[in-house]
Amino acid sequence: MTFIFSGSDGIYTGTSINIKPIHTENCVIQIKSTLKTAGWLVMGSGDGNGAFATSSIFGTSASDQLTTTGTGTVAGTFKAGSMTNGRSWFVLQQTASSGSWCMQNLGQVVGSGVLGSTSWRIKYSSRGFLMSTSTTSRTPSTIMAVSGIIDEMVLIGAGTDASPTAGTCFSSDAITFANCVADDSAPFGWYYAGIHSSSNRCETAILYDPLAVTGSGEVDPYAIFCRDEANGGTDAWFRILDNAGTTGPRAFIGPLTPYQRSNSQCCAMRYSTTETNEAPPTIPAGLGTNPFTGFEDIFPIVWAVDTRAFALNPIGTVAGTVAVGMLNGYKGVSTMSRWLANSKSYGDTITGSNLNLPAGATSRMILASSLANLAMPWSGTVVST
């Protein structure tokens, strides 16, 4: 596995970190290119207005129809193959476990396009999407849809594929430093951090964190997180601690069997000692600098579903049918995200630590100002602020 920091899919070629895309659609095109370069396959895409291609053969990509951004020559109109078009969409799938991401631009209605969309619908499926249900302007449904147990989670926006509603994601044009980092082989972890250039706060955070040391039988060993704070008072990454609200990370828990699946709120756990449940907790930020090396100690993040999440939304039977709800308990240990022993500042990088850097990365970056104990693989370059 090697982490990469650029994309080169023939549509976007260049760095995927430390840059301010001129429009939000360019940011999304950049993410798509980075993931394609890392090995993800475009299994389907539509420009919302005619262009449309899908593949239903696992491991074989479709032709990527979204090759550009921008509008037609008349302002507000669509442009062939443009990510700016209303209802344009694409699905990316990795071949290690078939996990798939689907992103759709809902900034405009079909036939229209305006640059700078911050209205999106983003969803994830552990098993992939049913491409035959899609059209040029309609995203595909999940493969498994049995009596209310569905193998997808809508992370941004809501509604249905036929009648989607948007949620806010990605910052306004040219004010965000876009950073997309991806592992180019299994298990294909990646993250995106959109950092507002004036506040240095992460507005948009997306995480696809592969997990190790999972419980036996886990078939989708990933923590999934997508959050936009629209430059509000909270750093988007801070929400990875949310164990019971609706803003936190998620994970599928359970096998791919009808009625036995849970799309659960899955938070990043902190560690403590037994004598006191101190604040801040021992990990992160309670251990200090390693006295023998002078370096930071870093720690793998443990992901779990708190009992409170389960209490708020338990899995159970509703009118004789098993309803979607939370399964609680332990999920796994992060292979990409790390806690720090000391709080740092956003944009700081560390090169020396107790655990090895993943291949391709030459440092770790602290990417949240209000959760300054979170570090991700980084290229070693200075973080643009």
Partner 1 sequence: MTFLFVATSSFITSSAANFVPVSGAVEGMFKFKELLKTAGWVVTASSDGVVSFSTSSDIITTYTGVLVSGTAITGSLGNKSAWFVMASPSNPSGNGTDRQFWSFQRDSTNNGTNFETWRIKYSADMFDNLTASLTSSPGPPNGATVSQSIMLGGGTDAAPTFAVGFRTSGNMRWNSAANNASPYEWYTICTEFTAYQPVTMIMHDAMLTGSWPDSGTFPTQFDQSPYCTMVSYFAAATDATVNLQSSTLGPFTWFRKGTNFVAQGSGILRLQGLKYMGTNAGNTTLTNAIWPSSGTTIQSRPGLNSEALLPIPYGRRVALLGAATGYKGLSNMMKYPAAPRTNGSTYNGVMTSTGSKDGIKFGLLVFPWNGQSYLY
242 is a contact residue toward partner 1 (CB under 8 A): yes
Token couple for 279:
């604040």
The least distance separating partner 1 from the CB of residue 149, rounded to whole angstroms, comes to 11
State the minimum distance, in angstroms, from the CB of residue 322 to partner 1.
9
Using CB under 8 A, pick the residue from 22, 80, 146, 213 that binds partner 1. Answer: 213
Closest distance of CB 258 from partner 1, Å: 10
Indicate whether 286 belongs to the interface with partner 1 (CB under 8 A): yes
Q: Would you tell me how many other CB atoms lie within 10 Å of the CB of residue 209?
A: 27
Per-residue b or e along 53-63, where b marks 16 or more CB atoms closer than 10 Å to that residue's CB:
bbbeeeeebbe
Q: Is 14 in the site for partner 1 (CB under 8 A)?
A: no
Distances (CA, A) of 270 to 241, 267, 342: 9, 9, 14
| Among 77, 290, 343, 349, contact with partner 1 (rule: CB under 8 A) | 290
Neighbours of 163 (CB within 10 A): 8
| Residue closer to partner 1, measured from CB, 159 or 215 | 215
Query: CB of residue 240 vs partner 1: minimum separation in angstroms?
Result: 9
Binding of partner 1 by 254 (CB under 8 A): yes
Residue 217 or 320 with smaller CB distance to partner 1: 217
* CA–CA separation, 109 and 265 (whole Å): 32
Backbone angles phi, psi at 375, to 5 degrees: -130, 140
Q: Which residue has the tokens 């291609």?
A: 53
> Between residue 31 and residue 70, which ones bind partner 1 under the rule CB under 8 A?
none
Regarding 76 and contact with partner 1 (CB under 8 A), the answer is no
Q: Kindly identify the residues of this chain, within the stretch 348-367, that bind partner 1 according to CB under 8 A.
A: 352-357
The residue within the footprint of partner 1, chosen from 193, 300, 346, 366 (CB under 8 A), is 300
First to last CA, the chain: 28
- State which of residues 73, 198, 233, 275 lies at the interface with partner 1 (CB under 8 A): 275
Verify binding: residue 185, partner 1, rule CB under 8 A.
Answer: no
Peptide linkage before 221 cis (omega within 30 of 0): no
Span near partner 1 by CB under 8 A; candidates 69-77, 129-137, 142-150, 273-281? 273-281
- Within 310-349, the residues that bind partner 1 by CB under 8 A are 310, 312, 314-315, 327-331, 333, 341
- Site membership for partner 1, residue 198 (CB under 8 A): no
Collapsed DSSP state (helix, strand, coil) of residue 241: helix
Q: Which is nearer to partner 1, 102 or 149 (CB)?
A: 149
In this chain, which stretch among 30-38, 84-92, 131-139, 293-301 interacts with partner 1, using CB under 8 A? 293-301
The pair of three-digit structure tokens given for residue 124, joined into one six-digit string: 């994830």
Residues paired with residue 158 on neighbouring β-strands, in sequence order: 165
Separation of alpha carbons 362 and 372, rounded Å: 19
- Please check whether residue 353 is in contact with residue 294, taking contact to mean a CB–CB distance below 8 angstroms: no
Given a contact cutoff of 8 angstroms between Cβ atoms, the answer to whether 23 and 170 are in contact is no
User: Which string of b and e fits 257-275 if b means at least 16 CB within 10 Å?
Assistant: eeeebbbbbbbbbbeeeee
Residue 241 binds to partner 1 (criterion: CB under 8 A)? yes
Question: How many of the other CB atoms lie within 10 Å of CB of 87?
Answer: 26
Q: Which of 169, 195, 224, 302 binds partner 1 (CB under 8 A)?
A: 302
Rounded distance between C-alpha atoms, residue 22 and residue 160, angstroms: 30
The binder of partner 1 chosen from 239, 250, 344, 364 (CB under 8 A): 239
Between 73 and 275, CB nearer to partner 1? 275
- CB nearer partner 1, residue 13 or residue 273: 273
| Shortest Å distance, C-beta 299 to partner 1 | 5
